[in-house]
């Protein structure tokens, strides 16, 4: 079985409380947002996850053809509680109430092949560093630093810590994603451009850094940026996952500037509605024509 991308990660049960005290319980996890947008853009995607038998119905939340879902039974699922402190959901307190059983390379079936293996981790421990190295023998590797830097404390609270094995493992990564806070925590600089340079020097081929104002990509030769232009942020959750999944999928067919534009426009549109992206490629084209004409014109110059 062959796919363009394999996306691997835990499907979570999230209890979200907004700044007004309203609470809802929804499915979540980087894999949910990443596979949703990849499938909406009609990419051939496989989803690799693991769940206890009692929680196996969570796979029904994935917008992936059943034949492309590979779920291993395990002991523990990942559960999160998020309290948003501001209406725009930029600030939040997150608690990991249950840590999912770690993945191993054996969770990806031997007969499942792909051009890219995307590690959509949630917390440190979802994957070990050796798994990245092993996966790089099978495909290009895409890694969200969240899954290696977000540590769970004894009380379930989470904090960013440096990735101790970063310089040993990053050379095996083709696409490396961080948000602005993660980029600063791992490199020691709040300057996103300098952080991207450092991450590139450590060995990744392309660096993508998300920020609430723009998305930045660096390939070692040139910086590319594209502004986020959402009209509201009611669907802020899943911003980074949607951006990175779109970029990685589209990058297999297009140059950096084109993949970046589509990724940024997609996440801008997605953030206007809560939940995973459920639009179409045509919806994104219309959004680009309405809100990114200046960016298109600059690409033509």
How far is Cα 48 from Cα 36, in angstroms, rounded to an integer? 14
How far is Cα 189 from Cα 175, in angstroms, rounded to an integer? 20
Categorize the per-residue pLDDT at 276 as very low, low, confident or very high, splitting at 50, 70 and 90: very high
How far is Cα 178 from Cα 217, in angstroms, rounded to an integer? 11
C-alpha count within 13 angstroms, C-beta hemisphere, residue 133: 8
More confident residue, 91 or 115: 115
pLDDT tens-digit profile of 5-43? 999 999 999 888 888 888 888 889 999 999 999 999 999
Q: Where are the extended beta strands (E) located within 125-269? A: 140-144, 150-152, 158-160, 175-179, 206-210, 214-218, 223-227
- Please provide residue 274's backbone torsions phi and psi, each rounded to the nearest 5 degrees: -60, 150
Categorize the per-residue pLDDT at 139 as very low, low, confident or very high, splitting at 50, 70 and 90: very high
Strand-pair partners of 144: 177
Domain boundaries, the chain: 2-300
Per-residue pLDDT, 90: 67
Alpha carbon of 80 to those of 99, 237, 275: distances in Å?
9, 13, 15
As given in the structure block, the two tokens for residue 179 are: 């948000």
pTM to 2 decimal places? 0.94
Neighbours of 195 (CB within 10 A): 24
Categorize the per-residue pLDDT at 235 as very low, low, confident or very high, splitting at 50, 70 and 90: confident
Q: Does domain 2-300 have CATH number 2.40.50.100?
A: no
Categorize the per-residue pLDDT at 45 as very low, low, confident or very high, splitting at 50, 70 and 90: very high
Mean pLDDT of 61-81: 94
């Amino acid at each position: 079985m062959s796919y363009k991308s394999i996306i691997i990660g835990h499907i979570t049960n999230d209890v979200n409380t907004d700044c007004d005290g309203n609470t809802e319980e929804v499915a979540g996890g980087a894999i949910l947002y990443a596979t949703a947008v990849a499938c909406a853009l009609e990419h051939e995607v496989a989803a690799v996850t693991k769940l206890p038998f009692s929680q196996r119905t969570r796979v029904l939340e994935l917008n992936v053809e059943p034949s492309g879902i590979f779920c291993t039974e395990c002991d523990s699922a990942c559960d999160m509680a998020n309290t948003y402190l501001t209406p725009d959901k930029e600030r939040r307190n997150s608690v990991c109430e249950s840590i999912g059983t770690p993945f191993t390379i054996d969770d990806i079936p031997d007969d499942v092949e792909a051009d890219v293996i995307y590690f959509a981790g949630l917390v440190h421990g979802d994957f070990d560093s050796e798994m990245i190295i092993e996966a790089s023998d099978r495909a290009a590797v895409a890694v969200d630093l969240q899954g290696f830097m977000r540590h769970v404390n004894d009380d379930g609270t989470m904090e960013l810590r440096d990735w101790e094995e970063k310089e040993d493992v990053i050379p095996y990564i083709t696409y490396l994603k961080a948000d602005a806070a993660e980029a600063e925590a791992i490199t020691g600089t709040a300057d996103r451009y300098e952080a991207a340079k450092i991450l590139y020097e450590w060995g990744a081929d392309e660096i993508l850094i998300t920020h609430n104002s723009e998305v930045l990509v660096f390939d070692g030769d040139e910086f590319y940026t594209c502004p986020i232009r959402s009209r509201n942020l009611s669907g802020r959750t899943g911003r980074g996952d949607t951006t990175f999944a779109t970029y990685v999928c589209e990058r297999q067919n297009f140059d950096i500037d084109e993949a970046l534009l589509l990724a940024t426009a997609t996440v801008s549109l997605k953030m206007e509605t809560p939940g995973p992206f459920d639009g179409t490629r045509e919806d994104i084209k219309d959004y680009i024509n309405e809100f990114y004409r200046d960016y298109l014109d600059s690409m033509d110059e």
